[in-house]
């Protein structure tokens, strides 16, 4: 088991994730029901403290702060990532990432890995970061227009030989860890007998 700690790099990634308004709002609403939180602190043990005022001395003196365990912070970010994604990406995050967070954050206490994974999903899987189209959704539009297909920003050439009836294309998914496989073939062939 790794020690419960988050290094400076992971803390920077946590802050980076919370720059997204949707993620920040999910984290700030994870406190006590009915209270509004406006400020945040991250400790090196993964604890995230959210405060009702901008002044930390007041938050501590009058007890208007809430301490979020790292696991609860990670699940709030996960929830926001699911909301930021569409179609298959949302399903993949909803079904797969939550289990990974539970295993790595709760059981293995590998907080660094969880932060990196959340960051990777935000950067490479979310379709709608900060309300604008991400690389993934733009790629889908390029494909519809018939221009080109890119994987990790690199153009991919797809050749289909009409003399063979089936082709299989394989390239990495958005996370780079799994391969997507597409079986292509001829669909909807009809014979015109008048010619």
SS (H, E, C) 75-141: HHHHHHHHHHCCHHHHHHHHHHHHHHHHHHHHHCCCHHHHHHHHHHHHHHCCCCHHHCCCHHHHHHH
Same domain, 125 and 155: no
Mean pLDDT of 170-193: 60
Domain membership of residue 153 as a residue range = 147-185
Same domain, 18 and 99: yes
Same domain, 160 and 97: no
Whether 48 maps to a domain, the answer reads: yes
Same domain, 99 and 60: yes
Whether 141 maps to a domain, the answer reads: no
pLDDT digits (tens, 9 = 90+) for 85-111: 888 888 888 888 878 887 887 777 888
**pTM (2 d.p.):** 0.61
What confidence score (pLDDT) does residue 60 get?
86
Whether 13 maps to a domain, the answer reads: yes
Whether 35 maps to a domain, the answer reads: yes
pLDDT digits (tens, 9 = 90+) for 35-83: 889 989 999 888 999 999 888 888 888 888 999 999 899 999 999 999 9
Whether 2 maps to a domain, the answer reads: no
């Amino acid at each position: 088991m790794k020690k419960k700690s988050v290094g400076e790099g992971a803390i920077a990634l946590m802050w980076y994730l919370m720059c997204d308004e949707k993620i920040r709002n999910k984290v700030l609403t994870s406190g006590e029901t009915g209270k509004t939180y406006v400020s945040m602190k991250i400790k090196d043990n993964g604890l995230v403290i959210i405060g009702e005022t901008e002044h930390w001395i007041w938050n501590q003196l009058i007890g208007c702060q809430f301490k979020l365990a790292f696991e609860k912070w990670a699940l709030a970010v996960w929830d926001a990532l699911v909301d930021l994604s569409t179609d298959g990406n949302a399903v993949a995050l909803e079904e797969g990432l939550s289990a990974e967070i539970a295993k790595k954050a709760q059981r293995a206490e590998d907080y660094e890995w969880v932060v990196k994974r959340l960051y990777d999903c935000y950067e490479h899987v979310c379709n709608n970061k900060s309300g604008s189209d991400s690389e993934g959704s733009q790629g889908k539009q390029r494909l519809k227009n018939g221009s080109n297909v890119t994987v990790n920003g690199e153009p991919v050439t797809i050749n289909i030989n009409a003399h063979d009836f089936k082709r299989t294309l394989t390239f990495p998914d958005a996370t780079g860890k799994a391969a997507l496989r597409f079986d292509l073939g001829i669909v909807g062939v009809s014979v015109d007998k008048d010619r």
